[in-house]
Structures are given as C-alpha cells and as structure tokens.
Amino acid sequence: MKINFSKYSGAGNNFIVIDNRESFFNLAKEQISRLLDINIGIGGDGLILINKSEKYDFKIAHYTPDGNLGSLCGNGTRCGIAYAYKKSIIKIDTIFEAYDGVHNATVVDDELIEMQMKINSKITKNDYGLWVDTGSPHLIIETSNTDVIDVEKEGKLIRYSDNFKENGVNVNYVQKISDEVFKIRTYERGVEYETMACGTGSTASALCMNYIGKTTKNIIKMKCLGGDLTIKFKEKDKEYSEITHIGPAKEVFQGSFQI
C-alpha cells in the first residue's frame, strides 16, 4: 500500500502529516515508531492524521515517536491546520476536534496559524515548580539561565520520577527576558527528548508566568530553540480565557512510502 504524506515544520518541531479522512491508515505502534525514526524511516517528532469529523471540519490525531496516540500537540496541530488549508480541506477559519475537545483556528497567512488553546486544570504548585494541563500535562520550572541546563538529562529524571512516571509530564524550563519575552526549553514525554519548540508548553508557561506575577502582560512571546511562539489570553482574578497561540507551520517536502 502506498501512502502519500507531507513533512511540516512548526517552529522547529517536525511532523509527518497524512490525510486520513477515508480512514485507510491502520499502522501498528511499532510501524509508527519506525516511520518516525530518522535513521530507518522518514523521521519526525510526531505523526499527524487528518481524520474525518461528523460535526466539524476535521478531527486531528497525534502520534508520538514511541508509537502511541498522544495528547494535544500545539505545533503538530498548527502543521495539520496548514496542511488542511493547502489541500482545500478548510478555509481561512476552521473548527476542528482534537484530543481535548473542539478548537478553532485562523490561517493568518500560508505559514502562520493562530489557534485557540484551552486550560484544562487549575494551576498547582509542587516541589519542582508549577503544573497545569493545556491539552497536555506540563511542569513549569523557572530558571535564571536556560542555556546552561542539560534539558535532556534533567527533564528525563523528572519525567520518570515517582511523581510523574505513571502518566508522564512535559518539563519546561523558563527564563524571563522581559515582561513580554521569555525563553523556554522543553523535554517532551512520548518524544522522550528535548524538542525545538512546544506549543502547549509555551502556552502553559506563559499562563504560569502571569499567574505567579512574573509578568502582567497578556501577549507574551515565548522564544523556543526553533522559533518564536506568541501567546495571547485574557486574565481576571487568576482565571484565564480566550487563550490562543500563534506560530509558524511550513511545508518542508512531500513524499510517499510503501507499507
């Protein structure tokens, strides 16, 4: 069986994107993991399927390099939206289903997407920092210098600690540059290494920095290794609404593979 795909990059995160509205895609976990292995497959931080939705424009599914169905991926979803727009599956404005419910998004231009985000939990404090779910579970650790941290080593120790081993957690190290700009580096569960950017992590980090008073701004630029993401929100009495994140989504190449 021959399967066509597009490879997309979202602020340095890269994804295999496939139109699966006819529900033909039926790979085993091991096959997905092999597909995402850059040494023996196409390579990628995740696999994005554009599935059929009965009520909305499409339904998105995200698979991580371990072959498992993952939770919401902000960068991957933006790439899926850009792909759907290029393939005329959607128009400039879209409503779609994702892991944590229904989202809307707007294609700002061919390579820039603004996507609605959700906060699915309270922000809570723990021994490491702050925890919140923005479609995926995130731990936010404030630091004075993100450049000196061994994110792969330190993030893995926390992700596989007794506190988070069962369900996993994405570990974000955040450094304040100014009231409007923060640097971020992220270790992602499922991927199990440091990625170049994280959309749900940048969203979680921006909200948490506002929550603890490190900024009073409601438009925050998060500087990831692979590019900048802009987080917008409204805040009242530490409650957050109208959350969006804006970031790039660029097609790198198209291809096909044989099963």
Burial 215-252, CB ≥16 within 10 A → b, else e: bebbebbbbbbbbebbbbbebeeeebeebbbbbbbbbe
- pLDDT at residue 180 is higher than 90: yes
- pLDDT at residue 225 is higher than 90: yes
Q: Which residues contact 101 (CB under 8 A, 6 or more apart)?
A: 118
Handedness of CA 207, 100, 83, 62 (dihedral sign): positive
What would the DSSP string read from start to end of 31-97? HHHHHT-TTTSS--SEEEEEE--SSSS-EEEEE-TTSSB-S--HHHHHHHHHHHHHTTSS-SEEEEE
Using one digit for the tens of pLDDT, what is the confidence trace for 69-128?
999 999 999 999 999 999 999 999 999 999 999 999 999 998 999 999 999 999 999 999
Average pLDDT over residues 161-178: 96
CATH code at 183?
3.10.310.10
96 and 148 share one domain: no
Residue among 40, 58, 42 nearest 50 (CA): 58
- CA count, 13 A, side-chain hemisphere, 166: 2
Phi, psi of 26 (to 5 degrees): -145, 50
What's the confidence (pLDDT) of residue 110?
A: 85
The reply to whether 198 belongs to the active site is yes
6 and 97 share one domain: yes
- pLDDT at residue 1 is higher than 90: no
- pLDDT at residue 218 is higher than 90: yes
Using one digit for the tens of pLDDT, what is the confidence trace for 115-161?
999 999 999 999 999 999 999 999 999 999 999 999 999 999 999 99
- pLDDT at residue 259 is higher than 90: no
The residue range of the domain holding 202 is 124-246
| Strands 219-224, 227-236: pairing kind | antiparallel
144 and 187 share one domain: yes
Average pLDDT over residues 218-241: 97
Domain count across the chain:
2
The secondary structure element, H or E, covering residue 199 is helix 199-211
Task: Kindly name the residue from 73, 79, 208, 224 that is annotated as catalytic.
Answer: 73
What's the confidence (pLDDT) of residue 99?
A: 96
Percent of the chain beyond pLDDT 90?
A: 97
Burial class (CB in 10 A: 0-12, 13-18, 19+), 66: middle
Percent of the chain beyond pLDDT 70?
A: 100
105 and 177 share one domain: no
pTM: 0.96
34 and 67 share one domain: yes
102 and 148 share one domain: no
Give the other-Cβ count within 10 Å of 3's Cβ.
17
The reply to whether 208 belongs to the active site is no
Task: Kindly name the residue from 79, 198, 208, 224 that is annotated as catalytic.
Answer: 198
60 and 16 share one domain: yes
What's the confidence (pLDDT) of residue 41?
A: 95
Q: What is the mean pLDDT of the chain?
A: 97
